[in-house]
Amino acid sequence: MGFHFHKASRLMAGVMLAVAIFPGTIASAGASDGNPAGKPAQSQVYTQQLFKIHVVDAETGRGIPAVELKTTNNIRFYTDSAGNVAFDEPGLMNETVFFHLSSSGYEVPTDMFGYRGQAVNVTPGGNVTIQMNRINIAERLYRVTGQGIYRDSVMLGETTPIEEPLLNGKVMGQDSVQTIKYKDKLYWFWGDTDRPSYPLGNFRVTGATSKLPSQGLDLDVGVDLDYITREDGFVKSLVPPLSDGANIAWVFGLMTVKDDSGEERLLAAYSTHDPNPHSFGILIFNDEKQEFEQLVQFPGVSDWRYAGMGGQGTYYEDGGKGYYIFTQHEYPNIRVEAKMDAIVEYTQYEYFTPLAPGTTYAGVNTQLERDADGKLVWGWKKNTQMLTQEQEKELIGLGVLHADDERYFQLKDVDSGDDVQIAQSSVEWNEYRHSYVMIGQEKFGKTSLLGELWFAEAPAPNGPWKVAKKIITHNEYSFYNPSQHEYFIKDDGRYLYFEATFTNTFTDAPAMPRYNYNQMMYKLDLANPVLNLTPPTGPELIELAKGKAITSSSSESAHQAVDGNDGNSQTRWASDSSDPQWIQVDLGAPSLISRVRLEWEAAYGKGYQIQVSNDGQNWTDVYSTTSGDGGTDIVNFDETEARYVRMYGTSRGTMYGYSLWEFKVFGQAEDQEAPERVVE
């Protein structure tokens, strides 16, 4: 939790906790508990039955995968894809055992000491069901790949939904999935794949097939993968050695097209590495050999025109023609006509861009295409470089893009107005929303470098992408290369299914046993009203509190009020452990404000008000709650003029004080003309 206790406070907390959990007389240390004096306890052969712990989503009742249960002596257990733990710890049977419960996107309420968990009476052959509240908007369903998907369920003697619940294709871990419908099956391809027998695995693409959802398992239940394997049972390398001699091969942007004879063929853009990029090109799948063959290798390795540098491919139609559009540069901004002769010729690829035809990005010297009236011309252009989100933002800052120019890639958080930087995305048409839907992976997120996913929608696959809603958070864990399954839909697209690679790569987090470096499936209900994304109107809001004079009712010596608005997410303000407490910022002058952002540390406010004042003495409530649950609170209210803003805490969420990483106030300074808000 980040708190440091003195010895006396730890002793007192321990006594209070013992009384809270075990009311009544505490037995003396000399009690024998029925064991003959001098005989070692628990010396018998241990043959107890398993104890079942079932952890479920409080909203849906479905088992939650990847929940960590930790005992007070740090023994860790993890729920399988059914939400089960088969508990069999010698010495802890027939005991009351407290389990700390944690899982990204799920939580249980804290107790009076700030612990999130539950004490359980563990008995041989017994069971308990524990509910967790879902914080994520999307629901975690199951692990798709890897060993022990239903390990604990099998140990408990339960029937599992998939045919290979323990070890399929000798796969321990798989990275970055690509999926496409081809010849009445779903074909699945992955990048690097781990094996049981040695730390180095398969680095030349692995694959599997499965039945179409209408013929196979229910989408909520799982996927029965039929791996393409070698004679020894381990997954086969699907890209044989190519002429470039590189050891690593990856595929991206799957496509199906008709060849000259009218037969459907499966193509993939590829890249090879050794370990740096070695070549790019197009592969074609040999149905008889069940592997890819080289169709064309593009010249060089540095040309931005190549497909196959990452991301997902999506088929769509525009102007009576069919195209494949690719997300390799964060957003869908590269496409090619869905014809064999166009796909193999990199000069035939088109790029969605405002640049003058035939030019490339050049910072302040970038040449833009404008019509006779000076209006920016965005369009699909051959041999003309596309813009990334960062490049578009840089051109805005340089004044090359004007205030009234259309922007396509400046995605904003619909709640806070903060920028959302996309690293990878998956875009598909959604009939239920009557729009193109993006599942986008954020880079440099607030809880993880690459672990937060967002939902956005646009009228065309190339945008404009304006506002988004966060649907998944993975604290200090990565969840990268999302893949939205256009074939996995229910109720005409209302329920959307997607997966990504769950891994501790790019983090300092320890690897989660069995789950790490594997694919996790999620489900999103597009009828959820929080996904009704309406871009805010009016002037752009700016953060007004950073570095301004700030005071508080009390502060811990190491966590002063000035740490609450210094812009550093690693420092925090912390109050005394009593009610009420407050922290207030002086904006320096009356300002028009309409939003406050509270980034709580573990010690949060359950009951608090946001109050405003113009003299620092007389306060008016603009927001009040008695059901705060920590995390990040974004408080929107009617625009009001104020110089002073404070958080007035009336009820602590834990036994400790109030603690904020950041206290932010958004609005517009009254003495300056607010910039026109183009995209929110």
Encode 88-129 in three state secondary structure: CCCCCCCEEEEEEEEECCEECCECCCCCEEEEEEECCCCEEE
**What is the per-residue pLDDT across 346-355, written as a single tens digit (0 to 9) for each?**
999 999 999 9
Per-residue pLDDT, 6 = 36
pLDDT of 45 reads: 52
* Plot region of 645 (φ>0 → left; ψ -120 to 50 → alpha; else → beta): beta
Question: What pLDDT score was predicted for residue 308?
Answer: 65
Query: Stretch 462-485: mean pLDDT, rounded?
Result: 94
Q: What is the DSSP string of 24-75?
A: SPPPPTT--TTPPTTPPTT-S---PPPEEEEEEETTT-PBPSS-EEE-TT--
Please write the tens of the pLDDT for every residue from 165-190. Answer: 999 999 999 999 999 999 999 999 99
Confidence of residue 12 (pLDDT cuts 50, 70, 90): very low
Q: Name the pLDDT band for 161 (thresholds 50, 70, 90).
A: very high
Beta bridge partners of 399: none
Q: Report pLDDT for 669.
A: 62
pLDDT of residue 47: 65
Cα–Cα nearest to 308, from 353, 348, 350, 268: 268
- Cα dihedral 437, 439, 443, 449, rounded to 10, equals 160
pLDDT in tens, 586-606: 999 999 999 999 999 989 999
The CB density around residue 578, as the number of other CB atoms within 10 Å, is 12
Closest-CA residue to 423 (of 310, 270, 523): 310
Is the pLDDT confidence value at 671 over 70?
Answer: no
- Closest by CA to 225, choosing from 182, 181, 165, is 165
Mean pLDDT of 23-51: 50
Tokens 């256009």: give the residue: 486
How does strand 106-107 pair with strand 185-190? unpaired
Of 403 and 652, the structure prediction assigns the larger pLDDT to 652
Q: What average pLDDT does range 144-152 have in this prediction? A: 98
Q: Mean pLDDT across the chain, nearest whole number?
A: 90
Pairwise CA distance, residues 535 & 545, whole Å: 24
Sorting pLDDT into bands at 50, 70 and 90, what band is 46? Answer: low
* Cis peptide, bond prior to residue 275, ω within 30 of zero: yes
Residue 19, pLDDT > 80, answer: no
pLDDT in tens, 380-418: 999 999 999 999 999 999 999 998 899 999 999 998 888
Average pLDDT of the residues in 452-456: 97
For residues 680 and 674, give the distance between their C-alpha atoms in angstroms, rounded to a whole number.
14
Give the residue among 497, 330, 351 at the shortest CA–CA distance from 428. 497
Alpha-carbon radius of gyration of the chain: 28
**Residue 471 near residue 524, CB atoms below 8 Å:** yes
Nearest to 384 by CA among 355, 342, 346: 355
